[in-house]
Amino acid sequence: MKVISYNLRKHRAVGELAHLVERHAADVLCLQEADTKDIPERIDGLRLADSTQRNRLGLAVYYRENTFRAVDVRMMALKKSLHDRVLKPAEERLLGVKLYDIDDGHEVVVASFHAAPLTALNSLRRHQIRTALAELQLMGDGLPTLMVGDYNYPVFKENLGQRVRDQGYELNLSDSRTYTRYRFVRGHYDFATSIGFEIDRVRTLPQGDSDHLPILVTARPLTGKATNLNAGSREGQDQR
């Protein structure tokens, strides 16, 4: 399963999507900072599952329609930063989709996530991440779950990784930095968080018109381990 996550930088990079999907044979495409009123229903064999509606710059998830069937969608507003309250760029910061694999007969959950900007505290972003992961578990309790997107978390990632592990998930960074706009805040911003997936690789793709570089996540769902996933998630919650 190949999943591309891309922050379009205020929709500027939308023209690159068809090429990205075709070149990397993506099965799922997760977008951030997309003008959801100006995105196509289909992109090179991928179908739009849904997009956020209350955002000035929103989220969208596409899936390969000859491989998957979308069976459930959930979008959610998370705890707001001051930036969100004043400028209102993003009301909904999580978009999750439950997909049914037509050939293998199992379900997975894939989500696009966009954390609060750097003007917010890391503690608020951790709260958003924790809430998002808990919400996705409610959406597909025990299902393999993969959340990708712009986490806006360039420093103290070790602390974030431990917090995520306490919830039963794993945090994966790509093989090179994903944000290049400003000299002093360059680094890894776009992550993959998963449970019930074997992450083979997270690769940073070449830069286009966005200040974020897209990432390509290659992952395999560990089906048949639902009981273990539930146990791991509960254990992490108990530790908190």
Q: What is the dihedral of CA 85, 90, 92, 97, to 10 degrees?
A: -160
Q: What is the pLDDT of residues 180-196, one digit of tens each?
A: 776 556 678 899 999 99
Cα atoms in the 13 Å half-sphere on the side-chain side of 139: 28
First to last CA, the chain: 32
pTM of the model: 0.88
pLDDT in tens, 211-235: 999 999 999 999 754 434 444 444 4
Report the sign of the C-alpha dihedral through residues 158, 59, 138, 42, in that order. Answer: negative
pLDDT digits (tens, 9 = 90+) for 161-185: 999 999 999 999 999 999 877 655 6
pLDDT per position as a tens digit, 59-69 = 999 999 999 99
- More reliable by pLDDT, 22 or 86: 22
Beta carbons of 95 and 61 less than 8 angstroms apart: yes
Evaluate whether 41 touches 224 at the Cβ level (below 8 Å).
Answer: no
SS3 annotation, 91-130: CCCEEEEEEEECCCCCEEEEEEEECCCCCCCHHHHHHHHH
DSSP-H helix ranges across the chain: 17-24, 82-87, 122-139, 157-166, 226-239
Give the per-residue pLDDT at 139.
Answer: 92
Coil/strand/helix, residue 173:
coil
CA atoms within 13 A on the CB side of 89: 15
Could you read off the pLDDT of 80-95 as tens digits, one per residue? 654 554 445 557 899 9
DSSP 8-state class, residue 62: E
